[in-house]
């Protein structure tokens, strides 16, 4: 199961045929160096790294796990070498700012690199994700001096990054954070507090680790409006970037977890650690959200990447596992039995996975496109519109890709039968590694409330409508699934309008239907993606498989939207009325 074949054919189909990315890159000022050939080369090189450097130490990394001793953390064998290779190859600065040594590649491309790296080795790549996220936050909010000092070593993987938000009493509710920061005469701050669940908070992969810590200044108001963000390096850094003394932060322990065992999750103590304010005082949550939104899409890619390798493994297994006979008579009468791909129920499992994984991949590129427009479009209106779409799509990318990701990993495991439960087969690790993605970086329930509350109700559905209009305009009227897709759009718009009205009457309704609404949105957008993929598919075997999978999506997966709509029409009375003590 250390075998991984990157879906390069599907990547090319999506970028070149479905999204015509080249046309976009040609018109965006910052993207002029990006061409189809260049992108193919980058994807092929990423695939090589994923298969040869990351995948071979994925299973061993899970078995070995990380070891904590006296505040230091030892990562599994091979992790340091592979992380160094990622850094040196420029894979941690794919989206980084070229002014400071970043690659400045389009997000439409880099989401696919992320998918491959998560498929190959989620635990290892998570260190990179946090590093790239911290760099992005510093790039967006740091002073010029801070950027010059911190970005290059983060970009090339000599240093790592970490995000310190959660505390024992403050998880989803960051307003309860207690960590404090005292200003010093020299302009630095003394940061004091305990933080939980730091992915990559301590490890042996890099010379230094840059922590971004949410804390309260002495004059801070209560709640989330009193949080500020501080850059707290493991080793202090002088003006020329050289490492100085050890800062006063320490890993108190690492967690024993269900999965991502190669990724060290630290409980951290900041004992008057020296820190620097990043961004404005009391604006820490907004500053941190730069990083969070980056991470949220990335966590979505974790769900997608794990489900992608899971279905690949299941498909390969199903083709060679011989059990029973096809219902319409033997397919291989000369063998002891037919491959289990002959059984309709096995095909159902494989096709549900294909429909969701390939739909999810297309969805990720769609989000990537909007992110590229936010960053590179020279028209203000276009940038603003794209930013609104990114806001709308980010919670869906995080929650829907990870919820469907777990579904697919579980289905893939089911295809293996008894072997799927055995550690050595490898597929059970994908289930365990995927599970956390539904929880961290804001639980999927939080994402759903973000979508319905901030992204839909707040502007009376205007962004949602504009987004649906944009998708409608991009689907040819003669597409096979045009009618079915536009019917879904109409229904989503009607459901939303109805909700806007009902939520005004009932303060609990938005929360009560948030998750179902997010799923309805997801399945509806996937319908458009499958309709487009169907319309763009060629006549070869690959194209045939796309078209049949599209048909399967409309026949067998999209009907889930019916159930969601019926559920959303219910009021919140029964939900809210059950006495608390009965739970």
- d(CA 577, CA 580) in angstroms, rounded, equals 9
Q: Is 510 in the site for a second copy (CB under 8 A)?
A: yes
Show the tokens assigned to 282.
Answer: 């009391």
Nearer to a second copy, 3 or 169 (CB): 169
- In whole angstroms, the minimum distance from the beta carbon of 523 to a second copy comes to 10
Q: Is 539 in the site for a second copy (CB under 8 A)?
A: no
The one-character DSSP state at 173 is -
The alpha-carbon radius of gyration of the chain (Å, integer) is 24
- In whole angstroms, the minimum distance from the beta carbon of 555 to a second copy comes to 4
- d(CA 342, CA 321) in angstroms, rounded, equals 10
Query: Do the beta carbons of residue 80 and residue 204 sit within 8 Å?
Result: yes
The single residue among 56, 183, 281, 445 that binds a second copy, judged by CB under 8 A, is 445
Stretch of residues binding a second copy (CB under 8 A), selected from 104-112, 117-125, 269-277, 559-567: 559-567
- In whole angstroms, the minimum distance from the beta carbon of 325 to a second copy comes to 8
The alpha carbon of residue 252 and the mean position of all alpha carbons in its chain are separated, in whole angstroms, by 28
Q: Is 12 in the site for a second copy (CB under 8 A)?
A: no
Stretch of residues binding a second copy (CB under 8 A), selected from 84-92, 139-147, 210-218, 346-354: 346-354
CB atoms under 10 Å from CB of 30, counted, come to: 15
Show the tokens assigned to 154.
Answer: 């983060």
- In whole angstroms, the minimum distance from the beta carbon of 348 to a second copy comes to 6
* Residue whose tokens read 């006495």: 579
Q: Which member of 441, 474, 504, 519 is catalytic?
A: 441
- H/E segment holding residue 189: strand 189-199
- In whole angstroms, the minimum distance from the beta carbon of 575 to a second copy comes to 5
Number of residues that bind a second copy (CB under 8 A): 104
Q: Is 259 in the site for a second copy (CB under 8 A)?
A: yes
Nearer to a second copy, 175 or 244 (CB): 175
Nearer to a second copy, 223 or 241 (CB): 223
- d(CA 203, CA 160) in angstroms, rounded, equals 9
Q: Is 336 in the site for a second copy (CB under 8 A)?
A: yes
483: closest CA among 540, 554, 429, 431?
554
- In whole angstroms, the minimum distance from the beta carbon of 380 to a second copy comes to 35
Nearer to a second copy, 352 or 366 (CB): 352
227: closest CA among 281, 186, 302?
281
The single residue among 48, 225, 348, 470 that binds a second copy, judged by CB under 8 A, is 348
Q: Which residues of 507-542 are buried (b: 16+ CB within 10 A; e: fewer)?
A: eebbbbbbbbbbbbbbbbbbbbbbbbbbbbbeeeee
- d(CA 231, CA 140) in angstroms, rounded, equals 13
* Residue whose tokens read 């160094």: 84
Q: Is 258 in the site for a second copy (CB under 8 A)?
A: yes
Nearer to a second copy, 386 or 557 (CB): 557
The single residue among 435, 455, 481, 532 that binds a second copy, judged by CB under 8 A, is 435
- In whole angstroms, the minimum distance from the beta carbon of 159 to a second copy comes to 26
Nearer to a second copy, 343 or 383 (CB): 343
Q: What is the bridge-based pairing of β-strands 189-199 and 159-164?
A: unpaired
Nearer to a second copy, 59 or 375 (CB): 59
Nearer to a second copy, 64 or 571 (CB): 571
Query: Site map for a second copy, 96-135, x if CB under 8 A?
Result: ----------------------------------------
Helix (H/G/I), strand (E/B), else coil: 270: strand
- In whole angstroms, the minimum distance from the beta carbon of 429 to a second copy comes to 9
Nearer to a second copy, 150 or 554 (CB): 554
Give, as ranges, the residues between 25 and 84 that touch a second copy (CB under 8 A): none
Q: List C-alpha distances in Å: 255 to 252, 264, 267, 395.
A: 10, 7, 8, 27
The one-character DSSP state at 137 is H
Q: Which residues of 153-168 are buried (b: 16+ CB within 10 A; e: fewer)?
A: bbbbbbbbbbbbbbbe
Query: Do the beta carbons of residue 209 and residue 203 sit within 8 Å?
Result: yes
Query: Site map for a second copy, 237-256, x if CB under 8 A?
Result: ------------------xx
- In whole angstroms, the minimum distance from the beta carbon of 132 to a second copy comes to 22
- d(CA 248, CA 309) in angstroms, rounded, equals 41
Show the tokens assigned to 316.
Answer: 């390969």
Q: Is 440 in the site for a second copy (CB under 8 A)?
A: yes
Helix (H/G/I), strand (E/B), else coil: 253: strand
Residues forming a β-bridge with 243 = 237
Q: Is 332 in the site for a second copy (CB under 8 A)?
A: no
Query: Do the beta carbons of residue 490 and residue 447 sit within 8 Å?
Result: no
Nearer to a second copy, 190 or 547 (CB): 547
Q: Is 305 in the site for a second copy (CB under 8 A)?
A: no
Q: Is 145 in the site for a second copy (CB under 8 A)?
A: no
Residue partners of 256: CB distance under 8 A and separation at least 6: none
Q: Is 347 in the site for a second copy (CB under 8 A)?
A: yes
400: closest CA among 489, 505, 512, 519?
519
The single residue among 345, 384, 474, 504 that binds a second copy, judged by CB under 8 A, is 345
Give, as ranges, the residues between 395 and 424 that touch a second copy (CB under 8 A): 406, 410, 413-414, 417-418, 420-424
Stretch of residues binding a second copy (CB under 8 A), selected from 94-102, 298-306, 335-343, 359-367: 335-343
Give, as ranges, the residues between 152 and 211 that touch a second copy (CB under 8 A): 166, 169-173, 175-176, 196-197
Residues forming a β-bridge with 181 = 191
- d(CA 320, CA 416) in angstroms, rounded, equals 11
- In whole angstroms, the minimum distance from the beta carbon of 162 to a second copy comes to 15
Nearer to a second copy, 8 or 545 (CB): 545
Determine whether 88 is an active site residue: no
Catalytic residues: 441
């Amino acid at each position: 199961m250390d075998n991984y074949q990157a879906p390069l054919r599907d990547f090319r189909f999506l970028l070149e045929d479905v999204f015509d990315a080249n046309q976009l890159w040609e018109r965006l000022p910052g993207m002029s160096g990006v061409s189809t050939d260049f992108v193919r080369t980058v994807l092929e090189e990423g695939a090589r790294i994923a298969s040869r450097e990351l995948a071979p130490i994925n299973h061993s990394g899970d078995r070995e796990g990380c070891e904590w001793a006296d505040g230091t953390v030892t990562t599994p064998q091979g992790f340091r070498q592979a992380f160094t290779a990622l850094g040196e190859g420029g894979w941690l600065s794919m989206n980084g700012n070229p002014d400071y040594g970043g690659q400045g590649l389009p997000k439409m491309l880099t989401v696919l690199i992320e998918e491959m790296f998560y498929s190959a080795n989620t635990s290892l790549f998570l260190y990179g994700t946090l590093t790239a996220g911290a760099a992005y936050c510093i790039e967006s909010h740091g002073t010029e001096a801070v950027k010059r000092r911190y970005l290059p070593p983060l970009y090339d993987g000599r240093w790592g990054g970490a995000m310190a938000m959660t505390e024992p009493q403050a998880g989803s509710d960051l307003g309860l954070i207690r960590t404090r920061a005292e200003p010093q005469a020299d302009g630095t701050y003394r940061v004091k507090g305990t933080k939980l669940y730091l992915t990559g908070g301590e490890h042996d992969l890099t010379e230094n680790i840059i922590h971004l810590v949410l804390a309260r200044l002495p004059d801070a108001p209560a709640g989330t409006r009193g949080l500020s963000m501080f850059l707290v390096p493991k080793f202090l850094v002088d003006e020329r970037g050289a490492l100085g003394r050890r800062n006063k932060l320490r890993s108190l322990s690492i967690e024993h977890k269900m999965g991502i065992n190669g990724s060290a999750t630290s409980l951290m103590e900041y004992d008057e650690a020296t820190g620097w304010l990043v961004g404005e005082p009391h604006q820490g949550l907004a500053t941190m959200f730069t990083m969070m939104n980056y991470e949220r899409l990335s966590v979505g890619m974790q769900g997608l990447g794990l489900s992608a390798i899971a279905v690949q493994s299941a498909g390969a297994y199903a083709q060679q596992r011989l059990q029973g006979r096809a219902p319409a008579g033997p397919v291989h009468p000369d063998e002891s039995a037919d491959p289990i791909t002959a059984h309709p129920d096995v095909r159902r499992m494989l096709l549900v996975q294909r429909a969701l994984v390939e739909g999810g991949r297309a969805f990720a590129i769609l989000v990537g496109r909007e992110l590229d427009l936010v960053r590179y479009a020279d028209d203000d209106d276009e940038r603003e519109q794209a930013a609104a779409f990114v806001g709308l799509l980010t919670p869906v990318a995080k929650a829907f890709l990870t919820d469907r990701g777990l579904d697919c990993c579980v289905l893939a495991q089911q295809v293996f039968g008894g072997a799927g439960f055995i550690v050595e087969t490898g597929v059970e690790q994908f289930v365990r590694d995927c599970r956390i993605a539904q929880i961290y970086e804001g639980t999927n329930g939080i994402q759903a409330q973000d979508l319905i509350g901030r992204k839909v109700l707040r502007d009376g559905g205007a962004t949602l409508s504009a987004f649906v209009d944009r998708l409608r305009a991009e689907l040819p009227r003669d597409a096979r699934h045009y009618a079915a897709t536009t019917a879904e759009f109409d229904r989503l718009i009607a459901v939303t309008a109805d909700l806007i009205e009902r939520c005004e009457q009932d303060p609990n309704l938005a929360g009560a239907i948030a998750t179902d609404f997010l799923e309805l949105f997801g399945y509806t957008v996937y319908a458009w993606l499958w309709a487009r993929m169907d319309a763009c598919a060629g006549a070869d075997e690959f194209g045939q498989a796309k078209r049949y999978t599209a048909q399967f999506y409309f026949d067998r997966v999209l009907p889930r939207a019916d159930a969601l709509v019926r559920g959303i029409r219910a009021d919140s009375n029964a939900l809210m009325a059950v006495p608390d003590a009965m739970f």
